[in-house]
Amino acid sequence: MRDVAVVSFAPSEPGLTGVEETETQLLFPVINEALAKIGITRKDIGFTCSASCDYLAGAPFAFVQTLEATGAWPPISESHVEMDGAWALYEAWVRLQHGDVDVALAFSSGICSRADIREVLSIQLDPYYLAPLWLDPLSFGRLQAEAVGQEPPTQAPAYTDAAAAVVLAAGDRARELVDRPAWIAGIDHRTDAHYPGVRDLSKSESARIAGQQAGVDKAPVDVAYLSAQYPHEGLILMDALGLTHGYGLATNPLMVSGLIQVGTAADAVIKGDANRSVGHASAGPCLQQNLVAVFEA
Amino acid sequence: MSSERVAVVGCGQTHHRKVRDDLSMAGLLREAAERALADAQMDWKDVDAVVIGKAPDPFEGIMMPEIYLADALGCAGKPIMRVHTAGSVGGSTAVVATHLVSSGVRERVLTIGFEKQSEGDTTWGLGGGRSGSVGAGGYFAPHMRAYIDRSGAPDYIGPAVAVKDRRNALKNPYAHLKLENLTIETVMESPYVWEPVRRLESCPTSDGAAAMVLTNEKGATEGAAWVHGTAIRSELGQFPGRDPVNPRGGRDCAADVYSQAGITDPFNEVDVAEIYVPFSWYEPMWLENLGFAAEGDGWKLVEKGVTDITGELPINVSGGVLSSNPIGASGMLRFLEVALQVRGLAGEHQIDGARTGVGHAYGGASQFFAMWVVRNEKP
């Protein structure tokens, strides 16, 4: 594989809620900051991947609006996932493997404070058998806590508003842009079955496979940032990834949480706070889908 | 550009209909996927990764459906991704799947585009539920009117495209609309939906899915189609000076993909093309945008029958989006149909000796583009 690194990361201020801006307005400064940090402009970007969610925006084509923050003129090579921004980073990493493009931008945005998230996330469930039950994320969290013998949580972390951007670069271009590129030593994502009744909720098989494929256990990890909403999710993830410690989510800006955890892990390497870090993103009920990235100095 | 060659070894699609109430949403994807896997002589367990695409979630009312579809698509323990780039999504989903193989990250990728329009209200979804919405045609109608005025095309060109594509659909067992004995006159007698577009010049709303299995060279079977180039482009939808009739993003996308495939004279070097024509006038417009005709001359190819199934440059011989429009699958069907053509597997609508095919999709305010070039020979 080609050597690809995260060279810049910029999140919005943590814990924002009730913002008056649009997602595009939240994105514009973080994209500017991610580029300014390494002294490049939008013209230097060869591939862009964005991530957003129509059900948070309350309108179709949320990504059409956020495209404005990239200044897509002349036309750019751009793709979009309706997933957490960590998967946009993954697609950018795949794209940079080809050798024709050296710099890529990945970003995501989500404004949770304008929606009833319990209702929104119920619409993510199987439409025929689960969605009609209006199972909300806290109920799933309590179910999974019981499965690992932990005290069921009474509250989910606050759903907040955020945007974040990362810049990825390949090979020598990464070395030119920053002293300590956060080299992506491994990155992988996997899903489990959707139905809570057909999997062992006390474990995360998908996180285990993703961690193994990303090579988490190949060397000691200095710091890990996990998309764990509750203490029991942290335990399940650390068990799956073979970690002894990790930081979970203080707040949960949907669509951005995972990109922030992965970007923060990369930033620890860039800043010299860690030589080897792990970032993790998750989606779906009871940690159904998991992405793991390993960064090395 | 790629380190690994990419082969299309399996193609499958549903029978597209207005309502497929015989199937759940997962069942719809599985009907297409199982046909693609059978064509590839593979089973679910052989798939390394799945990439799905569809248009906005509010169309069916399910948020991030890959979460729920993971079970039905055999994804437990595997990676699944969901792409969404408006109308171009079926094409860009195939491009993402191609990149997973060409990068060397995965070896065997199943990609599926779908829409089950009957489970929601697309026009309501387009408006975010906030208004009646003018529908996609209402947005594009002024662009078509501008094209007619600029090019001086006669008024029967749009209807001629509508007749051609529906005649082609009669040869495609999967096509949704089967309109026998359609003539330019009957099309012109149908009521305007959005001037200059009449009802019979518009795409239907369909339930359907399209699926392809892509592999690296090691996994390729005899008779595969080979990907010779992929390209995507996005541009801002609204700003002064932008030309939405002949958008630069489409021209750049075509130039990029032709360059990768070594095509310098698309009209003479391409044997068959499937281009995204949801409203009749988009055929001549895209013929120009994609470099098959000089600006202002696209309609002349239609008039001379050049784009007929028997013409020099057959366009949308499957019946196109005008005959089947499961939105999230519509772009992938364009990519899939040209793969079938170069594999010689298109059945009654096969173009004899097709060796080079171009698939195209567009979306948003004519601002998102995805294309690929496939051939019967390795790059």
Of A79, A120, A198, nearest to B83 by CB-CB distance is A79
Residue A198: both structure tokens together: 């057909």
Give the model confidence (pLDDT) of A142-179 as tens digits: 999 999 999 999 998 999 999 999 999 999 999 999 99
Q: Do B60 and A127 touch (CB under 8 A)?
A: yes
Residue in this structure with the two tokens 């709303």, named with its chain if needed: B205
Which residues sit opposite B232 in a β-bridge? B370
If phi > 0 it is left, if psi is from -120 to 50 it is alpha, else beta; for residue B128 that is: left
Integer Cα distance of A258 and A287 in angstroms? 12
Of A55, A79, A284, nearest to B57 by CB-CB distance is A55
Q: Using CB atoms within 10 A of its CB, is residue B69 exposed (0-12), middle (13-18) or buried (19+)?
A: buried
Chain B residues in contact with A77 by the CB 8 A cut-off are 231-234
Q: Rounded to a whole number, what is the distance in Å from the CA of B64 to chain A's nearest CA?
A: 6
Q: Do B64 and A124 touch (CB under 8 A)?
A: yes
Integer Cα distance of A269 and A265 in angstroms? 7
Q: Which regions in chain A score pLDDT beneath 50?
A: none
Per-residue pLDDT tens digits of chain B, which is 379 residues long? 448 999 999 999 999 999 999 999 999 999 999 999 999 999 999 999 999 999 999 889 899 999 999 999 999 999 999 999 999 999 999 999 999 999 999 999 999 999 999 998 887 777 766 655 677 888 899 999 999 999 999 999 999 999 999 999 999 999 999 999 999 999 999 999 999 999 999 999 999 999 999 999 999 999 999 999 999 999 999 899 999 999 999 999 999 999 999 999 999 999 999 999 999 999 999 999 999 999 999 999 999 999 999 999 999 999 999 999 999 999 999 999 999 999 999 999 999 999 999 999 999 999 999 999 999 999 9
Q: Pick the residue from chain A with its C-alpha nearest to B105.
A: A94
Residue in this structure with the two tokens 């120009």, named with its chain if needed: B288
Residue A57, Cβ neighbours under 10 Å: how many?
24
Distances in Å between the alpha carbon of B94 and those of A84, A146, A221?
20, 41, 36
- At residue B61's C-alpha, the angle toward residues B59 and B62, to 5°, is 115
For A182-296, CATH gives 3.40.47.10
Quick one: angle between helices A85-96 and B89-102, nearest 10? 60
If phi > 0 it is left, if psi is from -120 to 50 it is alpha, else beta; for residue A102 that is: alpha
Q: Given CB atoms, is B83 within the 8 Å cutoff of chain A?
A: yes
Ramachandran angles phi, psi of A130, nearest 5°? -105, -45
Name which of B29, B44, B73, B81 to mutate to probe chain A: the one with the most chain A Cβ atoms within 10 A of its Cβ: B81
- What pLDDT, on the 0 to 100 scale, is given for residue B1? 44
Give the model confidence (pLDDT) of A178-211 as tens digits: 999 999 999 999 999 999 999 999 999 999 999 9
Integer Cα distance of B159 and B198 in angstroms? 8
Nearest to A6 by CA among A37, A32, A52: A37
Q: Rounded to a whole number, what is the distance in Å from the CA of A78 to chain B's nearest CA?
A: 6
**Sequence-ordered list of residues with C-beta below 8 angstroms from that of A129, at least 6 positions apart, any chain:** none
Q: Do A99 and B233 touch (CB under 8 A)?
A: no
Q: Pick the residue from chain B with its C-alpha nearest to A199.
A: B76
Window B:40-69, CB contacts with A under 8 Å: 55-64, 66-69
Chain A residues in contact with B139 by the CB 8 A cut-off are none
Name which of A94, A133, A189 to mutate to probe chain B: the one with the most chain B Cβ atoms within 10 A of its Cβ: A94
Handedness of CA B244, B245, B251, B253 (dihedral sign): positive
Q: Please write down the HEC assignment for all residues of chain B.
A: CCCCCCEEEEEEECCCECCCCCCCHHHHHHHHHHHHHHHCCCCHHHCCEEEEECCCHHHCCCCCCHHHHCCCCCCECCCEEEECECECHHHHHHHHHHHHHHCCCCCEEEEEEEEEHHHCCHHHHHCCCCCCCCHHHHHHHHHHHHHHHHHCCCCCHHHHHHHHHHHHHCCCCCCCCCCCCCCHHHHHHCCEEECCEEHHHECCCCEEEEEEEEECHHHCCCCCEEEEEEEEEECCCCCCCCCCCCCHHHHHHHHHHHHHHCCCCHHHHCCEEECCCCECCHHHHHHHHCCCCCCCCHHHHHHCCCCCCCCCCCECCCCHHHHCCCHHHHHHHHHHHHHHHHHCCCHHHCCCCCCEEEEEEEECCCCEEEEEEEECCCC
Domain positions in chain A are 4-114+162-177, 182-296
Chain A residues in contact with B364 by the CB 8 A cut-off are 61, 64
Ramachandran angles phi, psi of A2, nearest 5°? -75, 145
Residue B334: both structure tokens together: 């364009």
Q: Are B157 and B198 in contact (CB under 8 A)?
A: no
- What pLDDT, on the 0 to 100 scale, is given for residue B123? 77
Domain A4-114+162-177 in CATH 3.40.50.2000? The answer is no
Nearest to A278 by CA among A255, A250, A247: A247
Residue in this structure with the two tokens 């000691």, named with its chain if needed: A220
Q: Do B76 and A192 touch (CB under 8 A)?
A: yes
Residue B187: both structure tokens together: 């099309």
Q: Do A75 and B25 touch (CB under 8 A)?
A: no
Domain positions in chain B are 7-123+205-219
- What pLDDT, on the 0 to 100 scale, is given for residue B136? 85
- Which class in CATH covers the domain with range B7-123+205-219? alpha beta
Of A83, A127, A199, nearest to B82 by CB-CB distance is A83
Nearest to A264 by CA among A69, A3, A32, A6: A6
- What pLDDT, on the 0 to 100 scale, is given for residue B128? 66
Nearest to A289 by CA among B70, B62, B47: B70
